Amino acid sequence: MSEPLQLSATALARAIRARHLRSLDIVEAHIARIERVNPTINAVVQQRFDAARDEARAADAAIDQGRDDLPPLHGVPCTIKENFAFAGFPQVSGLVARRDAIANADAPTVARLRRAGAIVLGFTNTSELCMWLESNNRVYGRTNNPYDPRCMVGGSSGGEGAIIGAGASPFGLGADVGGSIRFPAFFNGVFGHKPTPGIVPNTGQYPLPEGRMNFNCVTGPLARRAEDLWPLLQILAGADGVDPEARDGALSGDPAAVDVSALRVLSIEHNGRHPVAADLRAAQRGAADWLGSQGRGLSTPVFPAMKRSFEIWSALMQQAQPQPFAEQLGQGRRISVARELLKLSVGRSDHTVPALVLARTGKRADAGRAVCAPRRRAACGTDRCDRTGRRAADAAVFQRRATAQRAAAAAVPLRLLRPVQRAWLSGHAGAAGSESRWPAAGRPGGRHSGQRCGHDRRRPGAGAALRRLGAAGNRRSRRGLKIRRLSRHCCSC
């Protein structure tokens, strides 16, 4: 039997049911790993180890009793992004004003994972109010990359990406409005999927997305192995009676039944503004060329509007967000950004620089006015996104310029928007995931793939074909890692 820290969640569940592994042993192995790496990466900010051990003992007892009604994730450990409600535990979301906030009930998605047999080990770090691509806040501090602690982990689900990437959790729960699942997956060498809106309810998050933002923000899984993404989506999917977007039957099909030969493939290598590293571009071309040769052909179109992808995303966010970000930071009372910046200069502000920059715009990420006139700003973004979406193929392979950048760079005000400008079409509503490759320098790179809304099965289906036939490269050893020594921990797709 393979090392538990290398197995997928579904493989661990099979091993538990077959009595090849005990749930308690698996939980103890992951707890030990968290205790080893967390002092360096600061990913798990709240833990429930004793309760997890008790739940693992109960899971083993059910196996010993010969029960045949076991749920799909029976006895498998996991972690949860801290902004999801878990009864009796903090739900701070990186905001100092919520330091004492305690959830009184599980979020529906958390409850579904627990009913499926998952054992929650702890809760992971986010950016302040889950609104930046670095996971840093004044409550829990900054989360560091498991491959190089000097580098950032992405956000806002960066704690999940980091702890899974460090081998300390098989899978986790995150949410994504502009890359919050996909960036951490990309930066930490793991797998993530932003589902089509309406598949998974957002209920139980803080901040709770409202209005059109509830359509743009999507709850989804991150995982050690890509094979877990679809089973996890099946567990998470379905209406909850609260979220107006979530509906039953929105997730359909089977990735294993995807006919690669019937897919049209687009390969988008750049956004017309920022160059892509040669090794990442080569990895993408290898995957795209093979998919195109197996399907209905490959095209490499240029989308002129993608030069303004950040502005498009910003306009969509401004249109969707009913409450200004400055009011969210103040818990309903608009903060004075100028006063907070003065306090920040002497180390007295409760807010991070990115949060104050976003608050200064008056709306979440309202940078779109630099391109579109105020009355046309939202329409400009929506129209361009719609036109790009209509040209989307059955499967698309994007290349993100962003890599695991030095954390210090993200703290320099003059460079605050550079990483965001490199996140091409991050708000694209057609679900996406990141699949990892390993450059010689030892830091993860990645590939962002997507498909039309409602066809979530196609991305994992195409990815499975790539893995089976070895078209996207082989596993590579992780060299120069100070805190991680699992040479075969992550699969490369």
- CA dihedral (252, 258, 259, 262) in degrees, to 10, reads 60
41: which DSSP letter? H
Sheet holding 218-223, edge to edge: 44-47, 119-124, 77-81, 171-176, 218-223, 191-193, 432-437, 445-450, 395-398, 265-268, 298-299
95, 89 Cβ separation under 8 angstroms: no
Angle between helices 9-17 and 23-41 (to 10 degrees): 150
Say how far apart CA 356 and CA 265 lie, in whole Å: 40
- The pTM for the full model equals 0.85
pLDDT digits (tens, 9 = 90+) for 13-70: 999 999 999 999 999 999 999 999 999 999 999 999 999 999 999 999 999 999 999 9
Answer whether residue 448 shows pLDDT above 90.
no
Neighbours of 301 (CB within 10 A): 11
Go through the domains of the chain in sequence order and give each one's CATH number. 4-251+261-303+391-469 (3.90.1300.10)
Read off the pLDDT of residues 296-335 as tens digits, 9 standing for 90 and up.
Answer: 999 999 888 888 887 787 777 777 878 889 999 999 999 9
Catalytic residues: 81, 156, 180
pLDDT above 70 covers a percentage of the chain that reads 75
Alpha-carbon distance of 37 to 484, in angstroms, equals: 8
3-state DSSP assignment of residue 136: strand
Mean pLDDT of 397-406: 50
> CA 17 to CA 300: how far, in whole Å?
46
DSSP-derived pairing of the beta strands 432-437 and 191-193: antiparallel
pLDDT of residue 444 exceeding 90:
no
Whether residue 289 is predicted with pLDDT greater than 80 in this model: the reply is yes
Between residues 421 and 452, the one the model is more confident about: 452
Strand-pair partners of 192: 222, 434
Confidence at 387, pLDDT banded by 50, 70, 90: low
DSSP 271: -
d(CA 198, CA 390) in angstroms, rounded, equals 19
